[in-house]
Amino acid sequence: MSPAASSRWCPTPEQLMILEEMYRSGIRTPNASQIQLITSNLSAYGKIEGKNVFYWFQNHKARERQKLRRKLTKQLQLQQQLYHHQYQHQLQQNLPNHHFLHYFDSPAASPAFQHLSYYNSASLFPQAGIHEDAAAKQVMNYTWKFDIPERVDMDKAMMRMNGSDWLVMVDMGPPLSPPYYSTTRSRPPLKTLELFPVTATNLKEECNNSPKPLSCISNNATPANPLTFP
Amino acid sequence: MSPAASSRWCPTPEQLMILEEMYRSGIRTPNASQIQLITSNLSAYGKIEGKNVFYWFQNHKARERQKLRRKLTKQLQLQQQLYHHQYQHQLQQNLPNHHFLHYFDSPAASPAFQHLSYYNSASLFPQAGIHEDAAAKQVMNYTWKFDIPERVDMDKAMMRMNGSDWLVMVDMGPPLSPPYYSTTRSRPPLKTLELFPVTATNLKEECNNSPKPLSCISNNATPANPLTFP
DNA sequence: GCAAATTAATGATTTATTCAAG
DNA sequence: CTTGAATAAATCATTAATTTGC
């Protein structure tokens, strides 16, 4: 029988690697054309669809942001602990509170990020090689297929819309002869695609324990899933 | 010159009427095929695309829900006012507090909805003629075009997916000869489509003023948008 | 070792927010 | 102010890791 065709896409290591490489290179929200390209390239390494690529970037972006947020709030907590400790110390010794932030490795980790506004907190994290640019809002149309209306950010490779019609044709190649370039298609060898400014890394972390900064450090050291109901 | 092709869809009255009719008839989240059908039918009354239909239902559903929520919370507030007034009164007169809810016109308007849980608040509002059924979760795939994977809820009218390919072709007709049935296409005459169970009306209203129920009654009697910042 | 039971990751959907045209 | 469009957040759901008892 067929391998029951897993109900969801399971990226191959190569696919994953390439996707992550692209992400690292700055791609965050590929537009329809880009998704097409990426998909067709990745299809050399296994079954894949445009929506998989779309979702992957969506999820990856969101979860990276999430990780960052968590890290930040944790740092904030530590910081505040430190601060308070140091403060106490200073109270006792009357020392100036210079540079007590050297612990942190990121320029973003500053006490100023107490209440990160939901939006418009752009370019907070000038991480090496990644240009987070809030201005270029890269309005694209995932949601509605390759019905690219007028804005075409990329060289409109691979297809053209004509008028009010939709016509989308993506040949993924047969699921059988998958790996390592079927060489039959005109398939540009994935030159990292075009880089482009991406939307900003907006931050907002909910401190699950308490809004009060210091009491935020909980004592549940176990990484247990908080959502499981026995 | 061309009429600059308005950057967004502007539904004609007929289109709007039909859409609202469909909504009233219970359609909430039409699947790809249904969207196709609806679109192609509505295109008889003016320029329209699938995404317009999609967005319209999306937005309309959300905003109806929103209206309901607002109405509900307002009723809750009134209720609590009433309750407290009555309560005071009862304290003074020692009366039993029977049926003080007759004011409200909806079975949903009961004090039990103090803290509507985010999810699973299904079938709270058996509004006449509309079947809100949480169970039928109508998992569909808007987001990714007419790339209907396997679940086909409707008679797969109008097109067929084959294998791993996408092939979507929607002829909207040239923008010039639009209205009133071009008769060239096989276009079923819109027999209200198939009705189907839709996702539940989930409720969650943020009381912008305060989480405390009673202090929630603001003095802005105007139905102004609570999100506008002057 | 291994298979059921848990837990963690992450693909896929749905809902809420936000932007901005008109 | 209304609402079409777009994006982000929250959630659901399935798969992979991992643990646990045998």
Residue B62: nearest nucleotide (C-alpha to C1'): C15
- CA→C1' distance for B7 and D4 (Å): 10
- CA→C1' distance for B209 and C14 (Å): 27
- CA→C1' distance for B8 and C20 (Å): 11
Q: How far apart are CA B125 and CA B123, in angstroms?
A: 5
Please say whether the dihedral angle defined by the alpha carbons of residues B139, B144, B150 and B154, taken in this order, is positive or negative. Answer: positive
Residues in chain B: 230
Amino acid identity for residue B100 in this structure: F
**Structural contact between residues A172 and B165, judged by C-beta atoms closer than 8 angstroms:** yes
pTM: 0.41
**Structural contact between residues B79 and B97, judged by C-beta atoms closer than 8 angstroms:** no
Sequential pLDDT tens for chain B (230 residues): 444 567 789 888 788 878 887 887 778 888 888 888 888 888 888 889 888 888 998 888 888 887 777 666 666 666 565 545 444 444 344 333 332 222 222 333 333 223 222 222 222 222 322 233 332 233 333 334 434 333 233 322 223 222 222 323 232 333 323 333 333 333 333 333 332 222 333 344 433 333 333 222 233 333 323 222 23
Return the DSSP state at A198.
B
| B147 contacts on A by Cβ (under 8 Å) | 49-51
- Give strand pairing partners of A184: none
Structure tokens at A224: 């247990």
- What dihedral do alpha carbons B156, B157, B158, B162 form, nearest 10°? 20
Q: How far apart are CA B101 and CA B109, in angstroms?
A: 8
Tokens 């191959």, residue? A12
- What dihedral do alpha carbons A193, A194, A200, A204 form, nearest 10°? 0
Amino acid identity for residue A39 in this structure: T
Q: How far apart are CA A133 and CA A146, in angstroms?
A: 25
Candidate ranges A74-78, A194-198, B169-173; pick with highest mean pLDDT: A74-78
Q: Report CA-CA distances (Å) from B118 to B45, B136, B205.
A: 39, 18, 9
| Protein-contacted positions of strand D (CB under 7 Å) | 1-16
Tokens 């482009």, residue? A196
Residue B13 parent element (H or E): helix B13-24
All structural domains of chain A, each given as residue ranges with its CATH number in brackets, are 11-93 (1.10.10)
DSSP string, B37-81: HHHHHHGGGS---HHHHHHHHHHHHHHHHHHHHHHHHHHHHHHHH
State whether B49 and A164 contact (CB < 8 Å): yes
